[in-house]
Amino acid sequence: MASAIPAKKKALPIPSQAILAKTFHWVNIISLLFMMSSGLQIYNANPVFGGRGGWHFPNLLLLGGWLGGGRDWHFAVMWIYSLNLLAYGLFVFISRRWERRFASSSDIKAIRVSENVKRKSYAWHRLVYTLIIPILILAIASGLAMYKPVQLHWLASLFGDWQTLRTVHFITVPTVLLFTFVHSLFGLKVGGTRLIKSMFV
């Protein structure tokens, strides 16, 4: 098969990704789509902003058909979403990937002082995708606090009152969408479609 690749392209190294990083990306994206659509279904039962009289999300974005169905999906896919993140976290920790593949002080330095545009983009990209991790964890923490505010009272009390807790949990949705979008743009910028493709195929 290698002979089929034109010589010119051979010069460029094809980025290779760990199989566990690829599975994490796939499972995370798909489970997040289910979590967000079922979450918005639950949101609509009593909008975080404005209560019953507040603005409701259109049906097109919803999953579950009604509050009960949205909860069924949300509390089923939460397992896939959070266990996937946990598995990835263990992988990053055990393989010491966090030392090489995530933002460090040298990236912050590059963002601040580097004249090298490529190095700067690279640093920004690493910073953006590193920041996605705490957002994903915050979505789980605020979700658990709302799911079991009594039995996990210690967790719920970290968020202050109920409205703050609901707002934080909701805000993780646009935040994760924004960061995913910027992560994709920087991915394209620093590595082109070859880099993006390497993470999924």
Partner 1 sequence: MSLILPKRTLSRRHLLQLSGLAGLGLLLDGCGTSLFSDQVGQATEPLNQAIESLLLSQKPVSEYPVSAIEPDKLLINTFETTPQIDPAKFQLAIAGEVAHPLQLSMADLQKLAFTSMVIQHVCVEGWAAIVQWGGVRLQDIATLVQPKSSARYVYFKSADGYYESWDLASALHPQTLMAYQKNGQPLSVDNGAPLRLASPVKLGYKQSKWVTEITFTSQLTSKKGYWEDFGYEWYGGI
User: Quick one: DSSP state of residue 14?
Assistant: P
Select 130 or 167, whichever has its Cβ closest to partner 1: 167
Select 92 or 156, whichever has its Cβ closest to partner 1: 156
In the complex, the residues that contact partner 1 under the rule CB under 8 A are: 30, 33, 37, 42-43, 45-46, 48, 51-52, 59-73, 75-76, 79, 147-153, 162, 166, 185, 188-189, 192-193, 201
Q: CB of residue 147 vs partner 1: minimum separation in angstroms?
A: 8
**b/e code 72-97 from CB counts within 10 Å (16+ = b):** bbbeebbeebbebbeebeebbeeeee
Q: CB of residue 46 vs partner 1: minimum separation in angstroms?
A: 4
Q: Cα 80–84–85 angle (5° rounding)?
A: 120
User: Which of 99, 83, 87 shows the shortest CA–CA distance to 19?
Assistant: 87
User: In this structure, what token pair is assigned to residue 88?
Assistant: 């990835």
Select 20 or 144, whichever has its Cβ closest to partner 1: 144
Q: CB of residue 62 vs partner 1: minimum separation in angstroms?
A: 5
Select 83 or 134, whichever has its Cβ closest to partner 1: 83
Q: How far apart are CA 67 and CA 56, in angstroms?
A: 13
Q: CB of residue 125 vs partner 1: minimum separation in angstroms?
A: 12
